[in-house]
Chains A and B, each alone.
Chain A
């Protein structure tokens, strides 16, 4: 077994001991995904931020890198009936080479806490999540659309958003020509 697999296993054991159900106030569920990477379900956004800060200082983990921050729709309630969206935080340590994932369930309209105070890298990632899902982030310095136009309504990656919907922008310039077939 290689060194990174060993430290990943050690981290998995550490997380299992400390955050498996019953032994922790902040984690709702602990599981391993298809490639044996740990997934922790934080009880609420506040707990997610707390977990991130705890993992930064834990010697088994030494998390120092935000790999990715994204979300997915829970419209089919397969992840539980308690919420509409799942926010996913991918974390990595360049020191121990450990990878792990924190998830939080949000109801529609419930804000997530911003990670920009921990990593400035979260800035654009959170803007993208807001752009695509309409999830707001408390404490974000500049929360506005990033990939879509600012005039755009709707949130494209929500399941109810139709795949081929077009959205003409409201301020298209009207043409007022004198000829009889002109648009008005």
Chain B
């Protein structure tokens, strides 16, 4: 091997070849995405790399823009429920409920006790699914296939439960203004009890695979760090904000529905890196299981629907047999619900952070302005900054840890 060129000679040699000059160029531009399995959905980041270090980056979004906010001004309040499924499609239940909550606030409707408990149960189940997806895919991106197989079994279990509730797995459209489209099936509570018994074992198993795994720690610790000041300045919310050490959770600090009665802890980490976000999500799943346990035990009986003629969708059997009810049914679906003028901003603690709906009503069945405050939008904005100085494979692990859902990002 004595004839091999020295490094310097090699560089000089290559400088003469046009095609390989880029290798030594500190100004190489590369595109991460938009069509790449590691760029979840259709995200595109343009980077200037020096070697493998990202020195500049710009995100380009809008590939999944479907004009959902404009559709909100064209469809009736009831028709728009299905569009909320297509925001964060990993936790559609959360979006359904957050949206109907906003409309109910404008109409001054308080849903029944049973409806509240069902909604809280749905939101926690959706949170578990979302966190499972985030952790499993994040590990998969870094090569840990087993975690993905083990975790996705439980995601399927949760989806099967959701399917038994509303007939859909992914695009649920479960919530209705003033109630829910179906009552719980009889076998759901026993099934849920079995789920909350067995799922924590899976969490322990995954933790055994990852938490003290050398490869996992090397890939995640001190990667994509955000301080609490930065997190607040970038408007992050949810797990990423709490991983950076800000103790804020809407479920505890501005509670809705039955959360004040429930016993759960808000999980806070301090590192703000990928590893802490992972740990935080694992612990949050345990807290969600705690909430689900209480839901299974304390699920009250009583009416599901609010007793309000403006929004109450009549029972199908009455629609087929009674003239007045048929007309009422027709009016709700063809004309829509008449929402009084006014406005409200309503938000829930979604799996990724503060998911808000700002609805401006001028009266009538359609909204004047339907604004979706999506957590992913703020998270992806900070992503542009947090990958600076990191390597390209680290960008992939950071992206997995902030869990950006393109449907919610682009709306």
Q: Which residues of A are at the interface with B, using a C-beta cutoff of 8 A?
A: 2, 4, 33-35, 37, 64-68, 70, 72-73, 76, 78, 88, 90, 94, 97, 99, 101, 119-121, 123-125, 128, 132, 146-149, 156-157, 161, 163
Contact = CB atoms under 8 A, between A and B. Distances in A.
B314 interface: no
Given A2-B255, A97-B253, A147 B65 contact: yes
A141 B358 CA distance: 27
Contacts of A4: 253-255
Interface string B85-117: 000000000000000000001101000000000
Nearest to B378: A121
A68 B343 CA distance: 15
Interface of B: 61-62, 65, 67, 69-70, 73-74, 105-106, 108, 232-235, 246-248, 253-255, 260, 342-347, 354, 356, 358, 360, 362, 368-369, 371, 373, 377-378, 381, 410-411
B64 to A, nearest CB: 9
Contact of B344 (A34, A76, A120): A34
B234 A121 contact: yes
Nearest to B69: A157
Contact of A34 (B62, B73, B106): B106
Nearest to B58: A142
Contacts of A128: 377
A72 B370 CA distance: 9
A124 B381 contact: yes
Contacts of A99: 254, 345
Contacts, number: 98
Contacts of A163: 70, 73-74
Given A35-B345, A128-B377, 20 more contacts: A2-B260, A4-B254, A4-B255, A33-B343, A35-B344, A35-B346, A67-B354, A68-B358, A72-B368, A90-B358, A94-B247, A94-B248, A99-B254, A119-B233, A120-B233, A121-B378, A124-B377, A132-B69, A156-B70, A161-B70
Contacts of A120: 233-234, 381
B79 to A, nearest CB: 13
A146 B381 CA distance: 11
A70 B368 CA distance: 14
Contact of B343 (A34, A94, A119): A34
Nearest to A66: B235
Contact of B362 (A35, A76, A125, A146): A76
B362 A97 contact: no
B75 to A, nearest CB: 10
A147 B62 contact: yes
Contacts of A132: 69
Contacts of A65: 232, 235
B235 A121 contact: yes
Which 6 pairs between the two chains have the least Cβ-Cβ distance?
A: A121-B235, A72-B369, A147-B62, A94-B248, A68-B373, A147-B65
B254 A73 contact: no
A118 to B, nearest CB: 9
Contact of A72 (B235, B345, B360): B360
Contacts of B356: 67-68, 90
